[in-house]
Amino acid sequence: MPKAIRSPEEIEIVKHDILTTALKLMCDDGFDALSMRKLATRLKMTAANIYNYYENKDDLYLAIQTRGFQMLVDRFSEIYNSDQPIRDRLHAMMHAYFKFGIEYPDYYEIMFSRNTPKYADYKGTPMEPTAFIEKQTALKVSEITTRTVMDLYDGNKAIDEKEALYRTIVIWSTLHGVVNLFNSRVLQEVEEASEELIYRLINDLMEIAIKPKGEE
Structural domain containing residue 41: 1-54
List pLDDT tens digits, range 48-77.
899 999 999 999 999 999 999 999 999 999
Residue 14 to residues 38, 146, 160, 195, 212: CA-CA distances in angstroms? 17, 36, 46, 37, 51
In a domain, 10, yes or no: yes
Residue 162 to residues 91, 145, 154, 210: CA-CA distances in angstroms? 21, 13, 16, 15
The pLDDT of residue 42 is 92
The domain boundary, picked from 12, 27, 54, lies at: 54
> Which of left, alpha, beta for 110 (phi over 0: left; psi -120 to 50: alpha)?
alpha
In a domain, 189, yes or no: yes
* CATH code of the domain in which 44 resides: 1.10.10.60
Split into its structural domains, the chain has a count of 2
Residues 109 and 196 in one domain: yes
Residues 42 and 139 in one domain: no
- Percent of the chain, pLDDT > 90? 68
List pLDDT tens digits, range 125-159.
999 999 999 999 999 999 999 999 999 886 557 78
